[in-house]
Chain A
């Protein structure tokens, strides 16, 4: 799973998909995950990074990450 090449993410979390003209706004955590996806990180690696960064239990972390990735897929932002 990787961010599509056509997707650009600015420093302030503005997301632009050049192949469809869609734009979105991501919060700092979302923007961070988008960066990790761009780097090709796996779900497991991203989960570990989130657990290191935030005071959150593993189940909640997994669920939130899964939900976010699902939204990204729905909006055609990921190569799967």
Chain B
């Protein structure tokens, strides 16, 4: 089959010990049977490791931070589009997603496609709104309360059974066994991530993750559940294995169908030891950094996302290889200073010249 040439911009090339999904997404796209991809890497930092990998992005541009505003980002994307003629952008950072969602219409008018959740979908699954989200769609979540002050925290704790999980608005979570511990975490997390702080019922059980893709019209295109088999001190999965569990897939199906989710997503779930009940802990609104495992298991979700974004008919995946596992590793790439110099001074660098790509 002749592969269709296509230029796709991808963010999240931060393949660090807390990796973004950009490199696994690119790796999946490079293995596509449908597309001959030219990859435009988009970075926020000059030292995002993906920028120094020779076989991932063809060309890399820096982007302004989302905090600098939509217009700054848009004008940079206009510049990049003029040079690269982008067909599609796949944003992969939580922090940038809302900006890209808001810009989706204007990008579309420029001829750049995206497949993203709507702003309402994106906001409804935020940690502090997860309980309402779950209630609306009949999904089980641990009892959660969003608190914004110490008085409110003490009130919630008085009605809770220990341990409880104290979670930051965006990141980090701690298990507290006493009110004192909960207060300490409350101050630490609010200083770092702001309010609200989420106090969640602790569920004793096994954690699982599902990477999934929705077509935005209420169809689950693919889903692969995974259990982390090695977790770093930061709580990041360093190794994992694809498992077979219909209850986890049913949860993914429910979320995607009920919300009519468009794009990639990751569900964080916990299966209670004593009952076998599955609780939804979190929905991440983009592919996870381990999405390449799904590709290796026979479900190339990034490729399917591109096909959906192009308006192609994509039949849902029906199977995957259970028992495939991933193990991350670290590797010191040694590079010439020129690439760093180029990106630092001009904000763009060609890695694979077009004729050779």
Chain A, Cβ-Cβ closest to B276: A76
Count residues on chain B whose CB falls below 8 Å from chain A CBs. Answer: 12
Contact of A18 with B227 in the complex, beta carbons under 8 Å: no
Question: Please, could you name 18 A-B residue pairs with CB atoms under 8 Å apart, sorted by A?
Answer: A6-B244, A16-B323, A18-B243, A18-B244, A18-B322, A18-B323, A19-B243, A19-B244, A19-B245, A20-B206, A20-B227, A20-B245, A21-B226, A21-B227, A21-B240, A21-B241, A21-B242, A21-B243
- A6-20 vs B: 1/0 string, CB under 8 Å? 100000000010111
Interface residues of A (CB under 8 A from B): 6, 16, 18-21
Interface residues of B (CB under 8 A from A): 206, 226-227, 229, 240-245, 322-323
Task: Point out the residues of chain B lying under 8 angstroms from A19, CB to CB.
Answer: 243-245
Chain A, Cβ-Cβ closest to B246: A19
Rank and list the top 6 A-B pairs by shortest CB-CB distance, nearest first. Answer: A21-B227, A21-B241, A18-B244, A21-B243, A18-B322, A19-B245
A21 to B206, CA, bound (A): 11
A80 to B229, CA, bound (A): 26
Task: State the Cβ distance, B203 to closest chain A Cβ, in Å.
Answer: 16
A73 to B227, CA, bound (A): 20
Task: State the Cβ distance, A22 to closest chain B Cβ, in Å.
Answer: 8
Task: Point out the residues of chain A lying under 8 angstroms from B323, CB to CB.
Answer: 16, 18
- A sample of 11 more A-B contacts (CB under 8 A), given A21-B229, A21-B240, A21-B243, is A16-B323, A18-B243, A18-B244, A19-B243, A19-B245, A20-B206, A20-B227, A20-B243, A20-B245, A21-B227, A21-B241
